[in-house]
Structure formats: C-alpha cells, structure tokens
Structure 1
Amino acid sequence: MSFPANPFKPTAGVMPPVLIGRESVSLDFREGLDDGPGAPDRLMLITGPRGSGKTVMLTELGMIARSRRWEVIDETASDGLCDRLIARIAPEPSRIAGATIKPSVMGVSLGEFGIVPALRPSTLRDAMTARLRTLGKGRGLLITIDETQDASLEDMTAIAIAAQHMLRDNADVAFVFAGLPSLVSDLLNAKVLTFLRRASIKELGDVPLDDVRRALADTIRGAGVAINDEALDLATRATGGYPYMIQLVGYSIWRRARRRESTDGHAHGNAILTDDVKAGVEQARAKLGEGVCAPVVKQLSGRAVDYLRAMALDDGPSSSSDVAARMHESMDYANIYRQRLLDKHVIVAPARGRVDFAIPFLREYLRSTAADPNR
C-alpha cells in the first residue's frame, strides 16, 4: 500500500486542503455578494502578520466570486498599481482617454501603459463601468489587492476615489484589500482615504488550537493515514495556531512518515507516529526560520538585531526601557532602532512603552540562533 501524496501546502499563497479558522470571513463575503450593492462586506480590508494566510484568503474570496460568475481582477501592490488595474479592467485599453501607450508587437504592454495622474480616478471608474457593461446583468466585478501596505498613497487615493463612486452608484462591484496590520493606521488615517474607514475589517490572527487539531486529524485520517492522539496533540501544539506553521508541520510530519514507511516496507500500514511528529516538527521549525525569520533578520543592521535579541529575552511584550538597558544604551538611542523596526513592520507597539514581535516565531528563532554571531 503506497503512502498517499502529501496534502499539505506550505507554499506562499497556495490554497491549503482545508481553510482553517477563516470560515466567518468567507461567509461574510458570500453574504455581501448575495445581499447586493450597498452590502458592507463588498468593501473588505484583511490584515494579519506575514504567514497568516492573507493571500490564501484573497484566493478563496476570488473563488467564491467566480462561482457566482463574477469577473475577478487580482493585483499585488507595487509601482504602477492603478495603471495596471485600468489596463486590465478596461475592455479596450487603447481607447482610454489620457492614456499613453507605446506600440508593441504583442499588443498593449502593461509596462508601457500610463495614465495622466489627474485622470486616474475617473479613468479607473470609467474602466470599471465599461467592463460591467460587457459582463451583462447579474454579473459583477471583484478587485483584490494584496500587500496593500506597499501601494503608493497616490495609487491608493485614485483607487479609493473610484471605488467610492462605484459603490455610491450601487454598481455590482466589490473590493478586498489585504496587508500587514500597520495598513489600518497607515492608510486609514490618511485624510484622502477616510472612505476606507467604512471597510469591513477582518484581522487574521492565530487559529484556535482546537480548530487546528480537528483540521489536522480530518486531513490526515481523511487521506487514509493513521495518527494516534499523542502524535496529533504534539503536532497541534507545535503549530502555535500560526497558519503557515500549520502547513509546514503537516507537510514535514507527512514526509517524515512516508520516508520511514518506505524504508520499513510499510510496517505500520501508512501511519504517522509520534517519532515522525517529533522529527517533522524540528524540520518545520528550521524551515520557518530559514524561510520567514532569517530573511527578515538579514536585512536589518547589527544594532537593530541587537534590539530584537534584547526583546527575545522576554516571553511576551517587552518594556522599551528594559530593551534599552539590555543594549546598554540610552532610551533616545534605542528608540531610533525601535522606530526603524516599527516602520519595517518587524515589531509592534501594543501599548505605551511596550514592544512585541509582529512576526510569529521570530522570538524563538532569535533564541535558537543567539549563540551564532553570523545569524
């Protein structure tokens, strides 16, 4: 009996076999589409730390919209966001007023498409209106934007103005923005984006461990692989409820069990044992450190990392004054790095005079590498 294919998907943005702990977001969005123009969940803002499943959530909402025969335009924020949206939405980009298009052998190239800045809001609105007209009655247009915190204020202003007009006109459109938690304060506090304060905000935090256990059990046992309660509990606790870690742990323990079964000649009849979980969890932690934590740390200056290592000595939020003392620096000096880390969304300030890690498992990673000066 061959070991089944691994059902876990620890790849950024790839849909997992089970969307754990996010059912309420999907339900709200479904109801928003069903309730028609004016429904509050047709304007949604999804926030959460890196690896919390924001991109997966956008994929899920796009699938829901497509199942209702809606057109879906997915974009990731970067320079030229608004112009790219216009070019993708407009039925005939070459006829857009105010556009500059450089001829191309293959047709219109998005990289060579530009709109006069002052015309972007009205042009985007016109493009959406024209696309809806081509879709016909009963169909709508969903626009999703990932990594919204990386969008320029100019692009977001144009998009917000156009979206506001479309929603005010009761058009069959929906907008979902996803980004880091700082997105709420950075974007919504901008005067030109007060419209977005009416968005339905969905914060993706850790998944309750009971839900994690149930999902792991259903996925593993549903694929015809056995796992005992001790092994299941150990795997569940190791995830910490962090969505990316759930997939990493699941993938790693599955691979470890499959390799052991192959070597043992399927002695246990396709089962994940406690030893498989222990070894798989260690591999998952290493992969999380290499894939999520290490790249963040490597882009920081030495003293910024010192600030983080001083924070890592605490099991929860740290006192800013304690961090400065551990660095043997004044508060003014330490606060320079505090602000830089806040700006890079590596840490958060949950309360006055307190700091905490914005990236799950970063504390554990820093502790595990504390003895290595090169990491």
Structure 2
Amino acid sequence: MANPFKPTAGAVPPLLVGRDALLAEVDEGIRAGAGHPARITIFTGARGTGKTVMLTEAGDRAMAHGWLVIDESASPGMLARIGEAVDRLLDGVNPRARRRITGMSIGGVGSVETELTPRLAEGVRHRIGRLLDTLEKDGTGLLVTVDEVHARSDDLRELALITQHLVREDREFAIVMAGLPSAVSDLLRSDAQGRVLTFLRRADKHVLADVEVDEVHDALVQTVTDNGRTIDEDAARAAAEATHGYPFLIQLVGFHVWRAAAGDRITRADVAAGVDAARERLGTLVTETALADLSPRDLDVLRAMAADDGPSRMVDLAARTGMARQNADTYRRRLLDAGVIVQAGRGQVDFALPYLREHLRARM
C-alpha cells in the first residue's frame, strides 16, 4: 500500500489539520467581494508549520470559485514572471481555461533576474487590470500567492503598490503571502517602503501555531483507516503526542510509522520505531536548517536554554552566557523573530521547534 503521508516541504497532506478556520477566512474573502480584509493575507510561522501548504490551499479555495491563480516566490524577477503569466492568460481564447500558473513553470522566465523600473511595474498593473476586465464580466477574479517574502525584495514592494491601486479600484483581486517571522517582521518594519508599508501593515496576518494533539490523533487515525490499515489506540495516542502538534512532524511521524508497520495493523512498537526515525530526519531536514541561519551568539543563548528541562528565565540565560541583560533581550527578540523560541511567560522563553533541546544537548 502506498504511504499516504507526505513529509515533503510544501506538499499538501491528505488531511490538513487545525487550519480550517484560517482557510475559511480566505474563502470568505473571495466570496465576499472587494474590500474584505482577507483579500490581503500574510501567513507566518516557524519552519515546518505549513506556510507553503496554506498558499496552495488558498489557491485551491479561489479556484473552486472560478478564480485564476498565479503562484510565485519573492525571488529576483518575480514581477516580470507575474507579468508573463498574466500575458499568457490574456493571450488565451478563454482565460479561464488555465486556472493556475506557477512562476517556475513559465518557460525560461523562472530564472530571469530583472531589476524592474517603475514604468515596467506600471505595465504589469495595467495588464492585470485588463485580465480582471475579462474575469469580472464572468464574476471571477485573480489571486496571486507569494512565498518566501522578505524586506529586501524590490519586486515585492512594487507588487504591494500594484495591490494598493487594485484595492482602491475595488477590483476582484487578492494576494496571499507567506514568510518566516523574521522576514515578515523586517518587511513590515522597513521604513524604505513608506506608505506602501503602512498598507501592508493592514493585511490580515496569521501566525501558524502548533495543532492540538487531540486533532492530530484524529487525523492520524482517519488517514490510516482511509488507506486500508488499522492502528491501536495506544499507538495512535503515542504517535500524536510525539508530534507535539508540529505540522511537518505530523507528516514525518506518520510516514515513518507507516513504513515501520509490517502488516495491516500498526502497533505501539511500530510507532516507537517510526518516531525514532522521524526525530532523526527532523534534525536533518528542519533543525539544522534553522540553526544554520543563526549567529554564534544566537546559538550561545540556545545552548544556555538547553540546560533547562522546561522554560528558561532570561535572567539565568544572561548569567550563563555572560551577557548584560539588555544584550540578552536583544538576542531573545532575534530568536523570537526567527521562530526558534517562543515567549513562555513573563521573563521566560522556551523552544518553538520540537526536539530542539534534545538536538542541542546531543551536540554539546
């Protein structure tokens, strides 16, 4: 039997757990018409919380209402690729015949690095407007999704300006973006973007948090049974608790537990083997990637946190690292923005990524 779990970055799982309310808001924004706040949405969260999956699902919701979707990432040449996608849709006899275009699927354009002039950006705006003229006659519109947003993207600034104009014109247009907390914070704090920045600050911003373990349990059981196997109740509970509600780990644990089972019944022993394999892969796929982006002093703070069995007090971390309290608070903010730690109470922090404490202890 094919493994139903999908522990691949950006892959849509068989069951999307704990995100129904957020997607319902996007769906409502599409149906409600111009001016709905969900027409401009930003998803943020730590690595592995499902930001890219949310973009895919938002596009699926829009397509269910007959909208066209252009999927992009905030890499150099993004606005040129969006313009090319709009041109391809405009050139079709029936623009609705092609419902989704990804930036990387537009032949040859995906790798172009273009520094756009304001004139070219204006051209993209008017081309989108012509496409919307056609779509709005049929009662539909255009959604653009942008992954990996960051403050250094000139194209993203221009796209925000285009979006601002389209919103003022009450066009059937929506944009959904996603990025790491640090990148989104930098984007919204950047003074270089002036009133465009103010416009983005009014976007619907959602931080993707962990999922309730009970919801994980139900999703694991349903996925297993829907695909022809059974799972013992104690095994299902152990598997759910091992994920800590972390979306990527839900798929990773499910994948390795499924692989560990020899027959149609998944036992507690299968779960134990699968969880061990999943934790090892998590270290390679997520934990090491997150740590690679941090400075040596950031890592000093995390190692100091690893000495505690639970939340750490900032006063203790300052003492362990030899930092002044003010400097320790600076690194606390940096790690919060990076999505590596979370606030755990007044003057306390804890790890945001599951098994990061164990990962650090094993390497200290």
The CA distance in 1 between the partners of 2:64 and 2:148, in whole Å, is 25
Partner of 2:301: 307
TM-score (norm 1): 0.82
Asked whether the equivalents of residues 87 and 93 of structure 1 are also in contact (C-alpha less than 8 Å), the reply is no
Aligned to 1:266: none
Residue 78 of structure 1 aligns to which amino acid in structure 2?
S
Question: Quick check: 1:16 aligned with 2:13?
Answer: yes
- CA deviation vs aligned residue, 1:198-250 (integer Å, no higher than 9, x gap): 22222210111111111111111222211111111111110100000100111
* Deviation sequence 1:114-165 (CA, Å, 0-9, x none): 46433354233212112223445222110001111x3525333211111011
- Counterpart of 2:98 in structure 1 is none
- 2: CA distance, partners of 1:21 / 1:62: 18
2:89–2:131: 8 Å Cα contact kept in structure 1?
Answer: no
Residue equivalent to 1:290: 284
State the match for 1:37 in structure 2: 34
For the residue of structure 2 that corresponds to 1:288, the secondary structure is helix
| 1:361 correspondence with 2:355 | yes
**Using the alignment, how far apart are the partners of 2:131 and 2:333 within structure 1?**
44
Report the equivalent of 1:247: 251
Task: Quote the residue 2:100 is aligned against.
Answer: none
| 1:326-363 deviation digits (Å, cap 9, x = unpaired) | 23455577677657656755446677855444444322
Q: Residue 49 in 1 paired to residue 46 in 2?
A: yes
**Number of the residue aligned with 2:99:** none
Q: Deviations over 1:8-37 (max 9, x none)?
A: 000000110001111112211222111122
Unaligned runs of 5+ in 1: 95-105, 262-269, 371-375
SS at match of 2:144: strand
Deviation per CA, 1:234-282, whole angstroms, max 9, x where unpaired?
111101000001001111110000xx33xxxxxxxx1001100011111
1:99 corresponds to: none
Deviation at 1:187, TM superposition (A): 2.4
One-letter identity of the residue aligned with 1:62: G
* Separation (CA, whole Å) in 2 of partners of 1:108 and 1:217: 44
1:233 is aligned, of 218, 234, 237, to: 237
Partner of 1:373: none
* Equivalence map 1:339-350=2 (5 Å): 341=335, 346-347=340-341
Matched-pair contact (CA < 8 Å) for 2:25–2:38: yes
C-alpha separation between the residues in 1 aligned to 2:26 and 2:133? Answer: 23
Q: Go from structure 1 to structure 2 and tell me whether the alpha carbon gap of 1:316 and 1:83 turns closer, same or farther (over 3 Å shift).
A: farther
| Per-residue Cα deviation, 1:88-131 (whole angstroms, up to 9, x for no partner) | 3245999xxxxxxxxxxx98745557464333542332121122
> 1 CA distance for matches of 2:303 and 2:125?
48
Give SS of 1:44's match. strand
Q: Which moved more, 1:62-71 or 1:248-257?
A: 62-71
Deviation at 1:61, TM superposition (A): 1.1
1:103 aligns to what?
Answer: none
2:323 is the counterpart of 1:326:
no
- Given candidates 217, 237, 255, the residue that maps to 2:221 is 217
Choose 283-292 or 312-321, whichever is displaced more.
312-321
Residue 154 (structure 1) aligns with: 154
| Deviation larger for 106-115 or 20-29 | 106-115
Q: Give the number of the structure whose alpha-carbon radius of gyration is greater.
A: 1
Asked if the contact 1:307/1:327 (under 8 Å) is kept, the reply is yes
Q: Distance in 2 between matches of 1:339 and 1:201?
A: 19
Would the alpha carbon gap of residues 47 and 256 (structure 1) be closer, same or farther in structure 2, given more than 3 Å must change?
Answer: same
TM-score of the superposition, structure 2-length normalised?
0.84
Unaligned ranges ≥5, structure 2: 92-105
- 1:115-130 alignment to 2 at 5 Å? 116-130=116-130
Quote the residue 2:86 is aligned against. 89
- Structure 1 residue 206 corresponds to structure 2 residue 210: yes
Matched positions, count: 345
Which residue among 259, 269, 274 is the counterpart of 2:268?
A: 274
RMSD: 2.9
CA separation of 1:251 and 1:122: change in aligned 2, threshold 3 A: same
CA displacement, residues 302-348 of structure 1 (integer Å, 9 cap, x when unaligned): 55433211112234443333223223455577677657656755446
One-letter identity of the residue aligned with 2:304: A
Is the Cα contact below 8 Å between 1:87 and 1:113 reproduced in 2? no
- Structure 2 counterpart of 1:171: 171
% identity of equivalent residues: 45
Distance of 1:324 and 1:147 partners within structure 2: 32
Which residue matches 2:102?
A: none
User: How far, CA to CA, are the matches of 1:78 and 1:162 in structure 2?
Assistant: 17
**Counterpart Cα distance in 1 of 2:219 and 2:260:** 19
Question: Displaced runs of 4+ in structure 1, greater than 6 A?
Answer: 349-352
- Structure 1 residues 73 and 36: alpha-carbon distance in aligned structure 2, compared to 1, 3 A threshold: same
